[in-house]
Amino acid sequence: MNRLAAIALPVALATAAVLGFNSADADPSNAQGKTIVDVAVGTGSHTTLVAAVKAAGYVELLSGTDELTVFAPTDRAFAALETGLVESLLEKRNLATLQEVLGYHVVAGRMTAADVIRESELRTLNGQRVSVDVRPDGVFIGGAKVVTADVAADNGIVHVLGSVMLPATDDVVTVAKNAGMFGTLLTAVRAAGLVEAINGDTPLTILAPTDSAFAALDQKLLGSLLEPDNKTRLQDVLKLHVIPGRLSALDLATYGTVETLGGERLPVRVIDGRITVGGAALVGNDVESTNATVHVLESVILPR
């Protein structure tokens, strides 16, 4: 559970105003035969969202019998996006991207505000995760503030957002390259022939040592690992930094150990608020790519 949520939950159940958003009646019996799409149309402030749902071919999905939770950006939220972005998303050639964006705002099942703040993150229909943050000024989903919660529909529930959430669009190698501090790691990944393994569709958690972390190693050891004859050894080292599945920093903090891609088990510790995995401390966390969650390490994990 989100630690702040644990504190705020009793208050939230008493009055949603304390959490910084207005709460509608979440009782599905009060939805009066309205689907999620009907609710969005009826608000009068979700015209762009409704147009996007139609363009994406998602009307049937959001009007069906499967219960869903939708985080619905307002027209004002869409208007605040980069000029021309909405128009571009609505073009037929960008259908897949539009579906990704909309899927990022939908979670399976009916989740009230009280349900939402029990979580540290939510898995969306497009497979990515969004964070849940309870702050003094409100509840934020993927950085977007909830301005109205618990609008009931026959097939789910709607929470209104003040901004649009945009999913990650870059693969993990591109994210690492753009960060500008993982040059040695990328060189090692290429030398080990692991680019395709970490850049595929399989969800992963990457523990990424910085260039400074690699510079702190014995340089003879690093040079030796990068030699073609030592490709298997290099793969073994790099696999210590890859965990199957997406794990947030909060996930890691709740685990005593994690199993790596190579089958090794690494201890996870939380010391003075710092998370360490295999003895290496996280100095940055929860950087999202299309297929992986990246945590930045201050040192390199080596085989025991």
Q: Which CATH number characterizes residue 180's domain? A: 2.30.180.10
pLDDT at 31: 54
pLDDT tens column, 241-259: 999 988 888 889 889 999 9
Residues of the domain holding 47: 3-161
**Rounded to an integer, what distance in angstroms lies between the CA atom of residue 61 and that of residue 151?**
18
| 303 domain-assigned | no
pLDDT tens column, 68-103: 999 999 999 999 998 999 999 999 999 999 999 999
Predicted confidence band at 30 (pLDDT cuts at 50, 70, 90)? low
| DSSP state, residue 199 | S
**Rounded to an integer, what distance in angstroms lies between the CA atom of residue 118 and that of residue 257?**
24
| 26 domain-assigned | yes
**Rounded to an integer, what distance in angstroms lies between the CA atom of residue 34 and that of residue 154?**
6
Residue 57 in 3-state DSSP?
Answer: coil
| 39 domain-assigned | yes
Q: Of all helices (H) and strands (E), which one includes residue 125?
A: none
Question: What's the chain's average pLDDT?
Answer: 89
Number of structural domains found in the chain: 2
Residue type for 276, please? T
Residue type for 200, please? G
% pLDDT > 70, the chain: 89
**Rounded to an integer, what distance in angstroms lies between the CA atom of residue 204 and that of residue 251?**
13
Residues 188, 149 within the same domain: no
**How wide is the angle at C-alpha 228 spanned by C-alphas 205 and 176, nearest 5°?**
30
Q: What does pTM read for this prediction? A: 0.66
pLDDT at 126: 86
Residues 6+ apart with CB under 8 A from 160: 43, 45, 71, 72, 73, 74, 146, 147, 148, 149, 151
Structure tokens at 118: 């029990």
